Every structure is written in C-alpha cells, then in structure tokens.
C-alpha cells in the first residue's frame, strides 16, 4: 500500500469517540514513582527514597529546574502506598500522616507552583495492589471528589482485588464521577491489563469513550527482557491496538526505565525510539537527582519527543521483521513526514542493513532525512536509492523523514526543525546509484 493511502487508512481507523474532557491530546509526559521506588515506606532508614512528600517534591524540583518541564514532562505521579491504612471519619482516603505530614493538597500546591501537574493512584477494588484501601463502587464518587478537592490532575486506577464484573461497572463509573467534579483530571485505566488486553474481553471502543490512556499489558521491570516482552506483545497485536489510539486516548506500554540499572545506552535509545513510534505516554521512572548525562540526553532528545508528541496522534507499526534480527518500524507524522526505526535484536556486533525507501513503500520522490540520535541531517534520499544503516546490537537507528518537495514549499525550516531550534536539513547533491552509507 502506498504511504499516502496508508496514512489515510490509519487516520480514519482511529476511534472517533473519545473521552470528552479535552485532555491529553498528545501522549502525556512526566515522572512516575513505581518502577524505581516501588512501595518503599521505610522513611526512617531510607528517607531519600521512601514514598513520601519529600520524594515527590524533590522530583518536582528536578522537573522544573533541569529542563524537563519545557520539553513536556509535566506530570509528577504518585503510585501505590501513599495512603493511610484507614479512611478518615467521613469515609475519605487520606495520606499517610508520617510520610505526607502536610497532606496531598500541600503537595499539589507545591507541584502546581512549579508549573507541573500532580497525578495520584487508586485501585478499583477492596484494596490496592500494595494492600492499602481501595475504591469500592460505593466509594467511587467520594474518591473522585476528594481527588478534585485536593487539586489532582491525573488518576491512575488499578484493578487489584476486583473482578471482571466489578471492573465493568467501576471504570465507567469513575470516568463519570471525575467529569462530574468539574476539575479536568486525566484518567488512566488499568482495566484492559486485567482482562488480557485483547478483544473480545476488552472493548476498546468503550475504553476510548471513558479513559485517556490505559494499561494493556503487564508491569515493566528494570530489564531488557521486560522491554522486549512488552514490545513483542504490542507489535504482535498491532492490528488490534494501533487503530484504537489517537488524541485523548492512548495505549500505554508502561514506564520508561531509562536511567535505572537494567538497560545499556543502546537499549535505552531503543526503548525511547519504540515508545515514540507507539505514540506511548512517556512517564519516566528513575531518580532524576542522580541520573547520568547519557540517560538524560536520551530522555531530553527533542527530535524523539517531537515525534512522540506529533499532533496527528497516529500510532506506528512494525513493517518488517528480518531473519537477520533487524526490524523496521514506521509512524506517519504531520505534514507528510514520518519516523523510521531500524532496530536490532542481535547480540553480536553492529549489523549493516541495506534497503531503500521504495522497499519500505515510500512514494516516488526525494526525501530529507534527520538522524534523531546522532542529531544531524543526512544526505537527501531518492526513494529508489539503496542505503545502508549500521545498527548496534540491541540498538536502533531512528530517522525523521520529510518529503523534499514539501520542504521547499515552506518558507524556511519546517515547524519540526524550529521546535528543535535547527538543525536545518542541508541540501546535498549526492544522487549516485551506489548504496549510501548513513
């Protein structure tokens, strides 16, 4: 199928009914506590890393002072284990008084004063996964109003200690209750992850009407095997999952673990690139106080963020799965642009992969190419010109591809390039027939 036709098919196949709260028209970005800090409540022995107001205030400071906020990382999200073990006398959830002595409203004000948003965690069941008070059906409205009164901007609603019938009632009920508060609160549903993630048990049309994003699959762990497991599930099921994503309603493959302990730099670039192709929410779970410069550079790469945040909101697809261990992924973007990822599953040495844009079903023409992670423009490419990319083991090469004819119609650099503050794609006269090594 030609690229232009395929883009139209993908655009019109995206679910047209979405949660009517006007939020998260591009995938949300921010920081989430769970993968890195889990349920560490020992503030006496581990005061810097326990789930407490100190941790979230520290991360808010880092987002606001270290350049993250300006790139779109605006959510500070509390996960499980924040609450007291009992509700208050009026039946409301309350924060643990020792770890959050000034309460969640104070933390929300602190976060908001720094131009950020605060997310919180709940569970549609008798208990959270960590054993704290859950939200039973009779508590849905009071919990929604409590979160709104506190100044919460996003709710992740988990599904431990419940069942399919309970979830079928409770997740839509919470959506209505959040909207009824009058406060804009983004809504993350874990519902599909508890029902296997696929139809017929999961009704993605309904999900798009009640949730802004949803967890489809199991929790990510701090390992390359976990990342590969998630990637395989999402792209093996891309025919089901790709059409249901779009502005205001996103598939969520879980957190970015870049900057933790389990990924090399090449693997970190791979996770970032593939999450961008998936139009996935970008929630880091790491320690921003001690993150390495290499991990920071990957997470703050403006080009890959720009691809992730493309306003068309079309989720990408895997195009090719070679016997050599090389895979090619593609995502259509605004103004006729696209993103290409060449990904290696090899573990031996860099692999030189030869192809052409024509072989990847690009239409006739000449294209500008920008290498996302080397952060430099490459020679113009004719659709028919063979080229070679060298892909590191468990690594990626990621390109932003733009039709040269469209480029020349515009006065000056494209909007995408301006967002990157340059670089301008330079014109090259290299039109030889031999393969280009890029």
Residue closest to 122 by CA, chosen among 156, 162, 86: 156
Q: Which of 80, 96, 153, 158 is catalytic?
A: 158
Alpha-carbon span 204 to 278, nearest angstrom: 16
Q: How many degrees, rounded to 5, is the angle at CA 433 between CA 427 and CA 435?
A: 85
Q: Could you confirm whether 222 is annotated as catalytic?
A: no
Alpha-carbon span 251 to 314, nearest angstrom: 11
Alpha-carbon span 127 to 160, nearest angstrom: 7
Q: Which residues contact 55 (CB under 8 A, 6 or more apart)?
A: 33, 37, 48, 49
Q: Could you confirm whether 260 is annotated as catalytic?
A: no
Q: Are 110 and 118 in contact (CB under 8 A)?
A: no
In b/e form, how buried is each residue of 151-189, taking b as 16+ CB within 10 angstroms? bbbbbbbbbbbbeeebbeebbbbbbebbbebebebbbbb
In b/e form, how buried is each residue of 55-81, taking b as 16+ CB within 10 angstroms? bbbbbbebbbeeebbebbbbbbbbbbb
Which run of H or of E encompasses 403?
A: strand 396-403
Neighbours of 364 (CB within 10 A): 10
Q: Are 248 and 212 in contact (CB under 8 A)?
A: yes
Q: Which of 149, 219, 222, 386 is catalytic?
A: 219
**Token couple for 372:** 């996302």
Alpha-carbon span 257 to 250, nearest angstrom: 19
Q: Are 74 and 116 in contact (CB under 8 A)?
A: yes
Residue closest to 252 by CA, chosen among 197, 172, 185, 328: 197
Q: Report strand pairing: 29-32 vs 75-77.
A: parallel
Positions marked active-site:
158, 219
């Amino acid at each position: 199928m030609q690229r232009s036709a395929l883009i139209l098919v993908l655009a019109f196949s995206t679910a047209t009914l979405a949660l009517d709260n006007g939020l998260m028209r591009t995938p949300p970005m921010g920081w989430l506590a769970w993968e890195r800090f889990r349920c560490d409540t020992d503030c006496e022995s581990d005061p810097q890393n326990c789930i407490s107001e100190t941790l979230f205030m520290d991360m808010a400071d880092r987002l606001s002072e270290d350049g993250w906020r300006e790139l779109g990382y605006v959510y500070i999200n509390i996960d499980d284990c924040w609450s007291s073990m009992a509700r208050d006398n009026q039946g409301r959830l309350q924060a643990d008084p020792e770890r959050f002595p000034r309460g969640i409203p104070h933390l929300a004000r602190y976060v908001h004063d720094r131009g950020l948003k605060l997310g919180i965690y709940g569970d549609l069941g008798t208990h959270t996964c960590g054993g704290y008070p859950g939200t039973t059906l009779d508590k849905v409205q009071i919990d929604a109003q409590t979160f709104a009164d506190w100044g919460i901007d996003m709710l992740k609603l988990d599904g431990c200690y419940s069942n399919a019938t309970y979830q079928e009632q409770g997740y839509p009920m919470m959506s209505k209750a959040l909207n009824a508060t009058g406060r804009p609160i983004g809504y993350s549903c874990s519902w599909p992850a508890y029902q296997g993630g696929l139809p017929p048990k999961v009704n993605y049309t309904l999900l798009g009407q009640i949730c802004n994003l949803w967890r489809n699959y199991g929790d990510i762990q701090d390992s390359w095997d976990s990342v590969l497991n998630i990637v395989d599930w999402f792209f093996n099921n891309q025919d089901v999952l790709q059409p249901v994503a779009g502005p205001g309603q996103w598939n969520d493959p879980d957190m970015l673990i870049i900057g933790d302990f389990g990924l090399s730099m090449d693997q970190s670039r791979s996770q970032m690139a593939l999450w961008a192709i998936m139009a996935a929410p970008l929630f880091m779970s790491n320690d921003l106080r001690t993150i390495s410069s290499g991990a920071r550079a990957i997470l703050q790469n403006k080009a890959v963020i720009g691809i992730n945040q493309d306003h068309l909101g079309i989720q990408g697809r895997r195009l090719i799965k070679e016997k050599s261990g090389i895979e090619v992924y593609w995502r259509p973007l605004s103004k006729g642009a696209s993103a290409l990822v060449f990904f290696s599953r090899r573990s031996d040495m860099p692999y030189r992969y030869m192809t052409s844009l024509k072989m990847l079903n690009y239409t006739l023409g000449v294209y500008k190419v920008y290498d996302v992670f080397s952060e430099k423009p490459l020679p113009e490419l004719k659709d028919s010109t063979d080229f070679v990319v060298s892909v590191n083991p468990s690594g990626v090469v990621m390109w932003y591809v733009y039709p040269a004819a469209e480029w020349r119609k515009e006065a000056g650099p494209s909007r995408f390039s301006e967002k990157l503050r340059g670089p301008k794609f330079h014109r090259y006269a290299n039109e030889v027939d031999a393969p280009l090594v890029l």
